[in-house]
Structure 1
Amino acid sequence: MNTQIKTESIEKHQIHKVLIPKQEIKTGPIMAALLVAGFVGLFSETALNIALGDLSQIFHVNATTIQWLATAYFLTLGILVPVTGILMQKFTTRQMFITAVTLFIIGTILAAAASVFSFLLLGRIIQAAGLAITLPLTQNVIFTISPPNKRGAAMGVMGLVMLAGPALGPTLAGLILDTLSWHWIFWVTVPFLLFSLIFGLVYLPNVNEIRKVSIDAISVILSTIGFGGIVYGVSVSGDLGWISSTVIGCIVIGFASLILFAIRQTKMETPMLNLKAFHYPQFVLGIVMSFITFFNMLSMLVILPMYMQMALLIAAFTTGLILLPGSLLNCISAPTIGRLFDKYGPKAIITPGTILVAIGYVFYTQFDLDKALWMVVITHIVMMLGIGAVLANVQTNTLNSLPRQYYPDGIALTQTIQQVAGAVGIAVMVSIFSAKENSYLVDIANESTQAAAAGSSLVFTISLVLAVLNAVLSLFIKKPNSLHAVI
């Protein structure tokens, strides 16, 4: 006990307070600066996907190579997001924000002006590095400047951004491709990034606590190999196959590195990621639910357009328009859902949300070649409303369960899990879709549209099982002890 008191006393002396008086914090402009940057990053995560076919021909590379424009984005996020937990303790809020947006601007301009594939890929990696800092930083600022009884509303607004970015990406990119060249998918975001940078420079204060921490090189290496190995392994599984020695080797090495990483963190006096966050049951429950939610959501955003384009033979831009109502309604309702979370608590909002998601997948599993487009629109609306009730609110409740000193670590852990879940979800579900499609073509009939419908149905059935599991897990959600969330 004496040792613990002594350690806490030393830590207090190591902390440099950089908080400014509460009345000087202008929440609106701060949120605008952070969320605009986050929207651009998440928009960029999916916007280029619709142009991959054209880019493959423009740069004269095959499908496997061009896919790296998406894979490298997730891979960079999976590698860098864990490191931000300690970076947010070592550097000020403004230093982190300026670095993130500057990286984003550099990466965006480099990608927009790229004349060869390697420059475009490098631009995407630099973009992802900016987003890897922006997402955890935004959550940390929200939880620092918002009192516990208003975090749901604030995270609801962030949830709007988290869903609107990837959901609107293909639609807006399709419109750009119909009227301009692919370069403008990047150029149109530059003014928004400049707006974010200017607002951040003017309004964003240093709201974090700076500690005298050092970055452990071995931990960084283990984290990079661990998360990077898993994301890379599942990302290339669709091309190489799940029994490929490369795929198995990367995944095994990745998990082994993460085990060594976790062991090292428990033995370090100042760990890179404080895994004590896992001592809180509600945090663990939230991590599992977040993984399932992101696994299902991001894979659905890939498989559903594939179903519409390959089975229903709908054009890419039309596909984006069909998905637009659900995305827009989700954006409009997100802040209201956040306020309801603050008023009624987590279970009253999250459990109905998980049920709506499960209902959406029940309808998805029934989709065939004769499905009316209005039914696709209605089902997508139900699905997105459910996801909107689950996504940000699960994150809010997960982080509310932690004491304040664990926020940077908890945020880094949740953001890492989400990005890994997205990468794994897309890779696994696309692989299952392709396997079922090929099996149908060989064993049943050489009908490509029916094969695509069969592949989609199998994927949606698996997602339904996961959605039902999430609904069951939501029954165990509790409102955390308010003492943990006191600022």
Structure 2
Amino acid sequence: MEKIQTQPVDINGNHFKRAGFVLVLMVGTFLTIINQTLLVTALPKIMSDLDISASNAQWLITTFMLISGIMIPTSAFLLNTITNRNLFFAAMVSFAIGTVICALSTTFNTLLVGRIIQAIGSGLMIPLMQTLMFLVYPAERRGEAMGLVGIVIAFSPAIAPTVSGWIVDYYNWRYLFYIILPIVVLNLLLAFFYMKNIINLTKPKVDFFSILLSSLGLGSLLYGISVAGNEGWQNMNTWISCVIGIVVIILFSRRQFKLAQAFLELRVFKSRTFTLSTIIVAIIFMTMIGSEILLPIYTQSIKGFSALQSGLILLPGALVLGVISPIAGKLFDKYGVKKMSMIGMFILAVATFPFLLLTKDTATWWIVCLYSLRMLGMGFVMMPLATAGINALSNDLISHGSAINNTVRQVFASLGAAIMVGVMSATVTRYSNDYEGISLSSLLKGLNNGFMSAFILIVIAFILCIFIKSPIYTKKEE
């Protein structure tokens, strides 16, 4: 009888097995998130096959991030309007349809449409998983739950370039979608048996103006940041889009405080712990995504490695992050967020500093070790902090907190890439000359400065960790 009481309960009061529910959620989200970075190393082959320019090809990634980012804030409203089971199926079916279109596409426009439909499902799945994982575990095991979330959110985009590099080097790029599709179908079949409804619907009134403001504001901001990453911060479109985005987001925020039932409940920011933890995790995510862009540039342009070899250099770090995330979750449940975050940030800072000193002759094994150590530090910080933030919210605000947490992380991830690549590009331009063009020395200097911007951000996050105070539910307290 005791065992039954530890099992989660659906909205009808029926106990169900947590393991199948969690497996379906994790696999579904893993498949959707891995597509964010899956095409990074495949773009040259796609450009050649579909006869498109680099600027057009980049939209296959940028558009995915834009649509996914726009959908995330909507998830909180949908979770209170549609049963979580139906929302899961809607997200996965959308992703499956987009994957089929991508696999069969023979033109750029068709492939882009497929990526947009994929992104709709992906944008819904990320906050859906985080919310459901939080609610399906008791308070004293939420660190463990978020550790599992960390495997998916951090591990999948980290491993994608390696998988993509291997497939593209030996097979057609369409196999990137052919391989994913049967796993999606299998997961949908499992969901029929294991996905349960665990959220009681409040069915808030639809505020179409909030949806419009949210989509326009976030879309403009993400577009501006994406342009900055591709074209540089000097581009006028960057600043126009970012300013429009910020202004519209301010208007959206003011409207939420006036509504009887907010489309996105911004009073979660009244919690100091939630606000601080969200900012710190977003900053860390900035440095992770930015580093995953800079390191392949170093290994391919300076070291002369192939796309697959570059991916393999990142693979051990991805594996470390995947292993440490659930362990860090259990340690969080036992020791709380303060010790975990300080230790993790110290490791992250120590492992990041040597990247400021990269040279052409830096040993590959040393890079692998440092990158793996960085991932270890991130594993100790990201999910424990995210857990502490959402733990500080009441159950009725968890879906809103998850949506906001993921939205901020999406924006900061794009911003981190734009800042670190922007710093690198500006340095390269400064140290290059008209006669020699871009030299190895100027590119190295640019990469060093790009990692310096990451190190500065990590120091800022470390300082913010000092002010984290969170009520942690531990087994000891019980």
Give the TM-score taking structure 1 as reference length.
0.93
Of the three residues 298, 302, 315, the one matched with 2:293 is: 302
Contact 2:37–2:161 (CA<8 Å) still a contact in 1? yes
Please give the residue correspondences for 1:371-410 in structure 2 after superposition, counting only pairs within 5 Å: 371-410=362-401
Equivalent residue for 1:6?
A: none
Equivalent residue for 1:12?
A: none
Change beyond 3 A, Cα 1:222–1:172: same
Equivalent residue for 2:87?
A: 96
Q: C-alpha distance in 2, partners of 1:418/1:79?
A: 13
Q: 1:121 aligned to 2:112?
A: yes
Residues 344-366 of structure 1: per-residue CA shift (max 9 Å, x gap): 11112121111111112101111
Query: Identity of paired residues, percent?
Result: 33
Q: Which amino acid aligns with 2:389?
A: T
Q: C-alpha distance in 1, partners of 2:308/2:468?
A: 39
Equivalent residue for 1:280?
A: 271
For this pair of structures, how many residues does the alignment match?
A: 466
Q: Which amino acid aligns with 2:440?
A: T
User: What is the SS of the residue equivalent to 2:80?
Assistant: helix
- How far the C-alpha of 1:480 sits from its partner, in A, is 2.2
Of the three residues 304, 308, 324, the one matched with 1:317 is: 308
Contact 2:349–2:455 (CA<8 Å) still a contact in 1? yes
Greater Cα shift, 205-214 or 256-265:
205-214
Q: C-alpha distance in 1, partners of 2:182/2:413?
A: 28
Residues 97-117 of structure 1: per-residue CA shift (max 9 Å, x gap): 000100110011111111000
Q: 1:415 aligned to 2:370?
A: no
Q: C-alpha distance in 2, partners of 1:394/1:136?
A: 16
Of the three residues 10, 27, 33, the one matched with 1:36 is: 27
Q: C-alpha distance in 1, partners of 2:50/2:422?
A: 25
Q: Which amino acid aligns with 1:92?
A: T
Q: C-alpha distance in 1, partners of 2:234/2:375?
A: 35
- How far the C-alpha of 1:446 sits from its partner, in A, is 4.4
Greater Cα shift, 55-64 or 99-108:
55-64
Q: C-alpha distance in 1, partners of 2:140/2:433?
A: 57
- How far the C-alpha of 1:50 sits from its partner, in A, is 0.3
Equivalent residue for 1:171?
A: 162
- How far the C-alpha of 1:458 sits from its partner, in A, is 0.6
Contact 2:41–2:164 (CA<8 Å) still a contact in 1? yes
Equivalent residue for 1:105?
A: 96
Equivalent residue for 1:13?
A: none
- How far the C-alpha of 1:43 sits from its partner, in A, is 1.2
Greater Cα shift, 173-182 or 265-274:
173-182
- How far the C-alpha of 1:445 sits from its partner, in A, is 5.9
Residues 290-318 of structure 1: per-residue CA shift (max 9 Å, x gap): 22011111111111111111122211111
Q: Which amino acid aligns with 1:204?
A: M
Of the three residues 336, 355, 359, the one matched with 1:364 is: 355
Equivalent residue for 2:234?
A: 243
Q: C-alpha distance in 2, partners of 1:284/1:66?
A: 36
Residues 345-398 of structure 1: per-residue CA shift (max 9 Å, x gap): 111212111111111210111111110001101101110101111111111111
Residues 66-120 of structure 1: per-residue CA shift (max 9 Å, x gap): 1001101110122110111111111101111000100110011111111000111
Equivalent residue for 2:13?
A: 21
Contact 1:74–1:420 (CA<8 Å) still a contact in 2? no
Q: C-alpha distance in 1, partners of 2:21/2:440?
A: 48
Of the three residues 439, 444, 449, the one matched with 1:453 is: 444
Equivalent residue for 2:76?
A: 85
User: What is the SS of the residue equivalent to 1:476?
Assistant: coil
Change beyond 3 A, Cα 1:18–1:324: closer
- How far the C-alpha of 1:212 sits from its partner, in A, is 2.5
Contact 2:420–2:454 (CA<8 Å) still a contact in 1? no
Of the three residues 52, 55, 64, the one matched with 1:73 is: 64
Q: C-alpha distance in 2, partners of 1:203/1:123?
A: 28
Equivalent residue for 2:142?
A: 151
Residues 141-198 of structure 1: per-residue CA shift (max 9 Å, x gap): 1111111110111111110111221011010111111221100011111122112211
- How far the C-alpha of 1:440 sits from its partner, in A, is 2.0
Give the TM-score taking structure 2 as reference length.
0.94
Change beyond 3 A, Cα 1:465–1:210: same
Q: Which amino acid aligns with 1:132?
A: G
Residues 193-232 of structure 1: per-residue CA shift (max 9 Å, x gap): 1122112111111001201212211111111111111110
Please give the residue correspondences for 1:125-140 in structure 2 after superposition, counting only pairs within 5 Å: 125-140=116-131
Change beyond 3 A, Cα 1:420–1:246: same
Q: Which amino acid aligns with 1:19?
A: I
RMSD: 1.7
Of the three residues 207, 210, 235, the one matched with 2:198 is: 207
Greater Cα shift, 437-446 or 105-114:
437-446
- How far the C-alpha of 1:443 sits from its partner, in A, is 7.5
Residues 418-444 of structure 1: per-residue CA shift (max 9 Å, x gap): 111111211222222222222222289
Residues 313-340 of structure 1: per-residue CA shift (max 9 Å, x gap): 2111111111111111221222111111
Q: Which amino acid aligns with 1:281?
A: R
- How far the C-alpha of 1:18 sits from its partner, in A, is 6.3
Q: Which amino acid aligns with 1:151?
A: R
Contact 1:77–1:416 (CA<8 Å) still a contact in 2? no
Change beyond 3 A, Cα 1:154–1:177: same
- How far the C-alpha of 1:481 sits from its partner, in A, is 6.5
Contact 1:150–1:342 (CA<8 Å) still a contact in 2? yes
- How far the C-alpha of 1:240 sits from its partner, in A, is 4.1
Equivalent residue for 1:271?
A: 262
Structure 2 segments unaligned to the other structure (5+ residues): 1-8
Q: C-alpha distance in 1, partners of 2:287/2:152?
A: 18
Structure 1 segments unaligned to the other structure (5+ residues): 1-16
User: What is the SS of the residue equivalent to 2:361?
Assistant: coil
Contact 1:41–1:165 (CA<8 Å) still a contact in 2? no
Equivalent residue for 1:256?
A: 247
Q: C-alpha distance in 1, partners of 2:385/2:151?
A: 14
Contact 2:420–2:451 (CA<8 Å) still a contact in 1? no
Equivalent residue for 1:292?
A: 283
Change beyond 3 A, Cα 1:18–1:326: closer
- How far the C-alpha of 1:261 sits from its partner, in A, is 0.3
